[in-house]
Chain A
Amino acid sequence: MSAVTDPHDLVDKVVAELPERLPAQRWFGGKDRPVTSVRPLRTTVLGEDPLLVHLVVEVAQPDRRAPYQLLVTDLAEDYDATADPELAGRLLDLVAEGAEVDGLRFAHEPGVELEAGLRGRPITSEQSNTSLVFGSQYILKLFRKLTTGENPDLVLHRALHRVGCEHIAQPLGSITGELDGEPTTVGMLQQFLPDAVDGWAMATTSVRDLMAEGDLHADEVGGDFAGEAQRLGQAVATVHADLERALGTQRADAGDIDRTVRNMVARLDSVVAAVPELRPYVPALREAFDRARDTPGAVAIQHIHGDLHLGQVLRTVQGWLLIDFEGEPGAPIAERTALRSPLRDVAGMLRSFDYAAHQLLVGQPEDHQLAVRALEWSRRNRAAFTEGYAEAAAESVGDPRGRGYLLRAFELDKAVYEVSYEYANRPEWLTVPLSSIARITGEGVR
Chain B
Amino acid sequence: MAEDPRPDAALTGLEGVPHTGEAIGADGLLVEPQAEDFRSAKLAPREPGWFKGAVFYEVLVRAFSDSNGDGTGDLRGLASRLDYLEWLGVDCLWLPPFYASPLRDGGYDISDFRAVLPEFGSVEDFVYLLDEAHRRGIRVITDLVLNHTSDAHPWFQQSRAEPDGPYGDFYVWSDDDQRYADARIIFVDTESSNWTYDPVRGQFYWHRFFSHQPDLNFENPDVQEAMLDTLRFWLDLGIDGFRLDAVPYLFEQEGTNCENLPRTHDFLKRCRKVVDDEYPGRVLLAEANQWPSDVVEYFGNPEVGGDECHMAFHFPLMPRIFMSVRRESRFPISEILAQTPQIPDGCQWGIFLRNHDELTLEMVTDEERDYMYAEYAKDPRMKANIGIRRRLAPLLENDRNQQELFTAMLLSLPGSPVLYYGDEIGMGDNIWLGDRDAVRTPMQWTPDRNAGFSSCDPGRIYLPVIMDPVYGYQGLNVEAQLNNQSSLLNWTRRMIEVRKQHHAFADGDFADLGGSNPSVLAYRRRWRRPDGHEDIVLCVNNLSRFPQPVELDLTEHRGARPVELTGGVRFPTVGELPYLLTLPGHGFYWFQLVESGDEGETR
With A195-B512, A317-B334, A317-B512 known to touch, is A85 a contact of B576 (CB < 8 Å)?
yes
Q: Nearest chain A CB to B402's CB is how many angstroms away?
A: 11
Asked if A196 contacts B328 (CB within 8 A), the reply is: no
- The answer to whether the Cβ of A126 comes within 8 Å of any Cβ in the partner chain is no
With beta carbons under 8 angstroms apart, the residue of B328, B375, B516, B577 that contacts A209 is: B328
Q: Nearest chain-B residue to A209 (Cβ)?
A: B328
A196-216 residues with Cβ-Cβ distance < 8 A to B are 196-197, 201-202, 205-206, 208-209, 212
Asked if A119 contacts B555 (CB within 8 A), the reply is: yes
Asked if A194 contacts B514 (CB within 8 A), the reply is: yes
The distance in angstroms between the C-alpha atoms of A212 and B328, with both chains bound, is 13
Q: Nearest chain A CB to B370's CB is how many angstroms away?
A: 10
Query: What is the size, in residues, of chain A's interface with B at 8 Å between Cβ atoms?
Result: 30
- The answer to whether the Cβ of B441 comes within 8 Å of any Cβ in the partner chain is no
Q: What chain B residues lie within 8 Å of A119 (beta carbons)?
A: 555
Q: Which of A55-63, A69-77, A220-228, A371-379 binds B? A: A220-228
Asked if A317 contacts B379 (CB within 8 A), the reply is: no
Asked if A220 contacts B380 (CB within 8 A), the reply is: yes
Q: Nearest chain A CB to B382's CB is how many angstroms away?
A: 8
- The answer to whether the Cβ of B331 comes within 8 Å of any Cβ in the partner chain is yes
Asked if A195 contacts B514 (CB within 8 A), the reply is: yes
- The answer to whether the Cβ of A230 comes within 8 Å of any Cβ in the partner chain is yes
Q: What chain B residues lie within 8 Å of A219 (beta carbons)?
A: 378-379
The distance in angstroms between the C-alpha atoms of A366 and B76, with both chains bound, is 67
The distance in angstroms between the C-alpha atoms of A197 and B550, with both chains bound, is 12
Q: Nearest chain A CB to B501's CB is how many angstroms away?
A: 29
The distance in angstroms between the C-alpha atoms of A92 and B531, with both chains bound, is 35
Q: Mark A353-365, 1 if CB is under 8 A from B, else 0.
A: 0000000000000
Q: What chain B residues lie within 8 Å of A226 (beta carbons)?
A: 378
The distance in angstroms between the C-alpha atoms of A222 and B380, with both chains bound, is 10
- The answer to whether the Cβ of A315 comes within 8 Å of any Cβ in the partner chain is yes
Q: What chain A residues lie within 8 Å of B327 (beta carbons)?
A: 206, 222-224
Q: Nearest chain-A residue to B381 (Cβ)?
A: A220
Asked if A208 contacts B546 (CB within 8 A), the reply is: yes
With beta carbons under 8 angstroms apart, the residue of B375, B380, B518, B546 that contacts A315 is: B518
The distance in angstroms between the C-alpha atoms of A119 and B149, with both chains bound, is 62
Q: What chain A residues lie within 8 Å of B378 (beta carbons)?
A: 219, 224, 226-227
Asked if A205 contacts B379 (CB within 8 A), the reply is: no
With A136-B553, A197-B517, A202-B518 known to touch, is A317 a contact of B338 (CB < 8 Å)?
yes
The distance in angstroms between the C-alpha atoms of A205 and B516, with both chains bound, is 12
Contact-residue bracket for chain B: 20 to 34
- The answer to whether the Cβ of B519 comes within 8 Å of any Cβ in the partner chain is yes
The distance in angstroms between the C-alpha atoms of A363 and B328, with both chains bound, is 26
- The answer to whether the Cβ of A121 comes within 8 Å of any Cβ in the partner chain is yes
Q: Nearest chain-B residue to A133 (Cβ)?
A: B553
- The answer to whether the Cβ of B544 comes within 8 Å of any Cβ in the partner chain is yes
Q: What chain A residues lie within 8 Å of B544 (beta carbons)?
A: 205, 209
Q: Nearest chain-A residue to B331 (Cβ)?
A: A315
The distance in angstroms between the C-alpha atoms of A223 and B328, with both chains bound, is 6
- The answer to whether the Cβ of B335 comes within 8 Å of any Cβ in the partner chain is yes
Asked if A196 contacts B514 (CB within 8 A), the reply is: yes
Q: Nearest chain A CB to B241's CB is how many angstroms away?
A: 33
- The answer to whether the Cβ of B1 comes within 8 Å of any Cβ in the partner chain is no
B336-380 residues with Cβ-Cβ distance < 8 A to A are 338, 371, 374-375, 378-380
Q: Nearest chain B CB to A167's CB is how many angstroms away?
A: 15
The distance in angstroms between the C-alpha atoms of A201 and B328, with both chains bound, is 12
With A121-B555, A205-B544, A317-B338 known to touch, is A227 a contact of B328 (CB < 8 Å)?
no
- The answer to whether the Cβ of B329 comes within 8 Å of any Cβ in the partner chain is yes
Q: What chain A residues lie within 8 Å of B515 (beta carbons)?
A: 197
- The answer to whether the Cβ of B513 comes within 8 Å of any Cβ in the partner chain is yes
- The answer to whether the Cβ of B326 comes within 8 Å of any Cβ in the partner chain is yes
The distance in angstroms between the C-alpha atoms of A220 and B328, with both chains bound, is 14
Q: Mark A275-289, 1 if CB is under 8 A from B, else 0.
A: 000000000000000
Q: Nearest chain-A residue to B551 (Cβ)?
A: A124
Q: Nearest chain-A residue to B333 (Cβ)?
A: A317
Q: Nearest chain B CB to A385's CB is how many angstroms away?
A: 13
Q: What chain A residues lie within 8 Å of B555 (beta carbons)?
A: 119, 121, 135
With A226-B378, A227-B375 known to touch, is A317 a contact of B331 (CB < 8 Å)?
yes
Q: What chain B residues lie within 8 Å of A202 (beta carbons)?
A: 329, 518
Q: Nearest chain-B residue to A193 (Cβ)?
A: B514
The distance in angstroms between the C-alpha atoms of A318 and B512, with both chains bound, is 13
A208-256 residues with Cβ-Cβ distance < 8 A to B are 208-209, 212, 219-220, 222-224, 226-228, 230
Asked if A220 contacts B379 (CB within 8 A), the reply is: yes
Q: What chain B residues lie within 8 Å of A208 (beta carbons)?
A: 546
B527-554 residues with Cβ-Cβ distance < 8 A to A are 544-546, 553
Asked if A194 contacts B517 (CB within 8 A), the reply is: no
The distance in angstroms between the C-alpha atoms of A46 and B596, with both chains bound, is 35
Q: Nearest chain B CB to A107's CB is how many angstroms away?
A: 26
Most buried by B among A121, A202, A222, A223: A222
Q: What chain A residues lie within 8 Å of B518 (beta carbons)?
A: 197, 201-202, 205, 315
Q: What chain B residues lie within 8 Å of A206 (beta carbons)?
A: 327-328
Q: Mark B91-109, 1 if CB is under 8 A from A, else 0.
A: 0000000000000000000
Q: Nearest chain-B residue to A202 (Cβ)?
A: B518
Asked if B553 contacts A194 (CB within 8 A), the reply is: yes
With beta carbons under 8 angstroms apart, the residue of B325, B335, B374 that contacts A317 is: B335
The distance in angstroms between the C-alpha atoms of A209 and B338, with both chains bound, is 26
Q: Mark A105-147, 1 if CB is under 8 A from B, else 0.
A: 0000000000000010100010000000001100000000000
Q: What chain B residues lie within 8 Å of A223 (beta carbons)?
A: 326-329
Q: What chain A residues lie within 8 Å of B331 (beta carbons)?
A: 315, 317
Q: Nearest chain A CB to B560's CB is how many angstroms away?
A: 16
Q: What chain A residues lie within 8 Å of B553 (beta carbons)?
A: 136, 194
Asked if B379 contacts A224 (CB within 8 A), the reply is: yes
Q: Nearest chain A CB to B202's CB is how many angstroms away?
A: 53
Q: What chain B residues lie within 8 Å of A227 (beta carbons)?
A: 371, 374-375, 378
Q: Nearest chain-B residue to A388 (Cβ)?
A: B374
Most buried by B among A195, A196, A208, A228: A195
The distance in angstroms between the C-alpha atoms of A228 and B371, with both chains bound, is 10
Q: Nearest chain B CB to A345's CB is how many angstroms away?
A: 23
The distance in angstroms between the C-alpha atoms of A219 and B518, with both chains bound, is 20
The distance in angstroms between the C-alpha atoms of A85 and B555, with both chains bound, is 11
Q: What chain B residues lie within 8 Å of A135 (beta carbons)?
A: 555
Most buried by A among B327, B381, B545, B576: B327
With A121-B555, A220-B379, A226-B378 known to touch, is A197 a contact of B516 (CB < 8 Å)?
yes
Asked if B334 contacts A195 (CB within 8 A), the reply is: yes
Q: Nearest chain-B residue to A201 (Cβ)?
A: B518
Q: Nearest chain-A residue to B558 (Cβ)?
A: A119
Q: Nearest chain A CB to B533's CB is how many angstroms away?
A: 23
Q: Nearest chain A CB to B542's CB is how many angstroms away?
A: 12
The distance in angstroms between the C-alpha atoms of A220 and B325, with both chains bound, is 15
Q: Nearest chain B CB to A381's CB is how many angstroms away?
A: 12
Asked if B514 contacts A205 (CB within 8 A), the reply is: no
Q: Nearest chain B CB to A47's CB is how many angstroms away?
A: 20
Q: What chain A residues lie within 8 Å of B517 (beta carbons)?
A: 197, 201
Q: What chain B residues lie within 8 Å of A121 (beta carbons)?
A: 555, 576-577
Q: Nearest chain B CB to A143's CB is how many angstroms away?
A: 23
Q: Nearest chain B CB to A120's CB is how many angstroms away?
A: 10
Q: Nearest chain-B residue to A218 (Cβ)?
A: B378
Q: Mark B477-515, 1 if CB is under 8 A from A, else 0.
A: 000000000000000000000000000000000001111
- 16 extra interface residue pairs, beta carbon distance < 8 Å, beyond A121-B576, A205-B519, A212-B545: A125-B516, A135-B555, A194-B513, A195-B334, A196-B514, A201-B516, A206-B327, A206-B328, A209-B328, A220-B379, A222-B326, A223-B327, A224-B375, A226-B378, A227-B378, A318-B338
Please provide the 5 A-B residue pairs with the shortest distance between their CB atoms, ordered closest to farther. Answer: A195-B514, A222-B326, A197-B518, A317-B338, A194-B514
13 contacts between A and B (CB under 8 A): A135-B555, A195-B514, A197-B514, A197-B515, A197-B517, A202-B329, A208-B546, A219-B378, A222-B327, A222-B328, A223-B327, A224-B327, A227-B378
Which B residues form the contact surface with A (CB < 8 A)? 325-329, 331, 334-335, 338, 371, 374-375, 378-381, 512-519, 544-546, 553, 555, 576-577
